[in-house]
Structure 1
């Protein structure tokens, strides 16, 4: 803020200079006018004196003319360099009043309509927080300054949840939904906050929110975990296992919560068995895994660069043209062994196993674009259930597709 006020003060001085300099110049001009008037009066007095001497017979006509010429030269010498007559004077109160009121008015308008609070927040967020409380205060100030920011509301809600303030978090997530729309992630967070704020009691509202979230995204992790918790608390252990297994399938392999989740699945299974039940094992869904060895044609080795991108993908032999599964590497990696599986699907509903026949494609793109390149290799249509390794050579100009 010190830098802001220094800059504002400098601008104020510049503005004052534009208004005060003409005033000072006007005063100097006034002094010049006063001196010129005095010289003219002295000249007229000298002429009258010469005229009196002529009348007294002290001077003759020639001496009178000489005296007048001498007085005129003196007057001219005294008035040289003086400014011409001015139409108006600037030494009036109006410029002084304007010099003071204009900056004051500008500052008042800025403080009312300006973004001083946002400037302060930007400066504050540029520094690392000293504590969790400091970060919370910053987020609260950001939300107060920008109440229509869905991102700010969402992150503050997550912060409140980490501080065991679920009721406050629920209000923020509800506001986020109104601003950003009913996105599955936000619906899941809202439902979780309401669940813990309501003493872990399941309600029709929670059922509706998690249903909507999982319909929009079957892999929405917060809703899956919450449904598992609610089922476990309600002693519906098979249902808890099912939800937590679905959650476990979408978590990254290095996610630190996997161990706790696996422990929860085991506890639910043990309670189910201890109660005389049997854990239902769902049949594994059919998956596809295709192996391909990608190599570069001998004639192309001198025409490509080691850093050129190589895209290896599978697409439906009869169906949408977009890739079903894709891997990326560079020419320097060739030859390479690549695996394309359902886990590499770009969209959940566009898996390899959803199509009976697929085609394998490898494309070199100097611009790094998977849909457009310079060289390509294609396989014949293959069953998506093929397990034998396929060989794919990039050796043809790319003419899409």
Structure 2
């Protein structure tokens, strides 16, 4: 904060200079005015002395006139260049009073309306915290300084959960929901905090929150994990297995929590079998689609394109949304080329090749780099999304 206050002090000095400079100038003018008055007094004294000498017969009329002229020239030389005195309506006390009030009022207004606490927080967050307690204190001060920041509230709630303070986290997540809206992830976090704050007792409110979260997003991971825990604690082992399997499908392959989750599924399965139950088989997963396509340029077009022109290769549903289901980007210099389009290349999770029975392959050249419009295009006939045979696609037509 020292550099901040130094900068603020420098700005105050600049502001004061606009008030103090006129005062210094007026003082200089006063000095010049005083010097002029002194010169005039000396002139008058010299003239009186000459008159006395003339009356005593020491000087004649010609000498008297010469002496008077000499004194006048000296007075003119001493007062030459002195500006006429300026009269200030405000007087001297007003600028001095303003010079005192400016820094005092400036400091008072900043302390009331300013954000020195936010400046300090910004400096603190630029450095890594030394402990979890220090991070919590920073987040608490951030929430106090910015009570309408949903992001700060969210991180504080997550921090409280890691510190085993679910009751505090539940209050924070409720405030976050009120600020940011009833987003599925926030609802799941709120429900989880309430569950642990109530001593792992399920309630209608928790059920309502998880139902709302999964209705908006069936893949909301916190709600799926929480429902699995509640089912396991309630000895509803088949439901626990189902919820945790759904959660397992959403986690990346390298997610470290997959091991613990798989262990929970195994324990739930063992308890289900030990109690005389039978594990229901999960429905077979839909096979992922993968199309292999070779793309080339018609010979008559090779002289009409440039090596740096973009080439967009994509598959789209013949009956469905116009958005590409999978896409790759190359340049004309890369042609001919062979690419693979599959579910992993989906533009959106809900728009996968395997979700549509029939697709069309398209390759477009766009000098402007726009995937939706270009100069040349090639299209395939409709084909099944489950096709495994390699496909050939030639860019040979104007893009209309």
TM-score by length of 2: 0.90
Q: Is the 8 A contact 2:296 2:335 kept in 1?
A: no
How far apart, CA to CA, are the structure 2 residues paired with 1:347 and 1:71?
A: 101
- Kindly state the Cα deviation for residue 372 of structure 1 after the two structures are TM-superposed: 3.2
| Equivalent residue, structure 2, for 1:154 | 154
How far apart, CA to CA, are the structure 1 residues paired with 2:346 and 2:38?
A: 100
Q: Is the 8 A contact 2:29 2:85 kept in 1?
A: no
Q: Is the 8 A contact 1:290 1:389 kept in 2?
A: no
- Kindly state the Cα deviation for residue 200 of structure 1 after the two structures are TM-superposed: 0.8
Q: Which moved more, 1:35-44 or 1:296-305?
A: 296-305
| Equivalent residue, structure 2, for 1:68 | 68
Q: Is the 8 A contact 1:43 1:71 kept in 2?
A: yes
How far apart, CA to CA, are the structure 1 residues paired with 2:46 and 2:317?
A: 116
Gapped regions of structure 2 (runs ≥ 5): none
How far apart, CA to CA, are the structure 2 residues paired with 1:279 and 1:42?
A: 122
How far apart, CA to CA, are the structure 2 residues paired with 1:76 and 1:293?
A: 103
How far apart, CA to CA, are the structure 1 residues paired with 2:31 and 2:389?
A: 103
Q: Is the 8 A contact 2:316 2:360 kept in 1?
A: yes
| Equivalent residue, structure 2, for 1:305 | 307
Q: Is the 8 A contact 2:315 2:327 kept in 1?
A: no
Where does 1:1-400 land on structure 2 (aligned, <5 Å)?
Answer: 1-88=1-88, 92-287=92-287, 289-297=289-297, 299=299, 303-305=305-307, 310-323=311-324, 325-331=325-331, 332=334, 335-341=337-343, 345-347=346-348, 349-365=350-366, 368-384=369-385, 386-397=386-397, 399=399
- Kindly state the Cα deviation for residue 19 of structure 1 after the two structures are TM-superposed: 2.0
Gapped regions of structure 1 (runs ≥ 5): none
Q: Is the 8 A contact 1:27 1:91 kept in 2?
A: no
- Kindly state the Cα deviation for residue 17 of structure 1 after the two structures are TM-superposed: 2.5
> Alignment length, in residue pairs?
396
Q: Provide the aligned C-alpha RMSD in A.
A: 2.5
- Kindly state the Cα deviation for residue 181 of structure 1 after the two structures are TM-superposed: 0.7
Q: Which moved more, 1:80-89 or 1:162-171?
A: 80-89
How far apart, CA to CA, are the structure 2 residues paired with 1:245 and 1:97?
A: 76
Q: Is the 8 A contact 1:143 1:152 kept in 2?
A: yes
Change (3 A) 1:57 1:350: closer
TM-score by length of 1: 0.90
How far apart, CA to CA, are the structure 1 residues paired with 2:191 and 2:232?
A: 17
- Aligned to 2:261, what secondary structure does the other structure show? helix
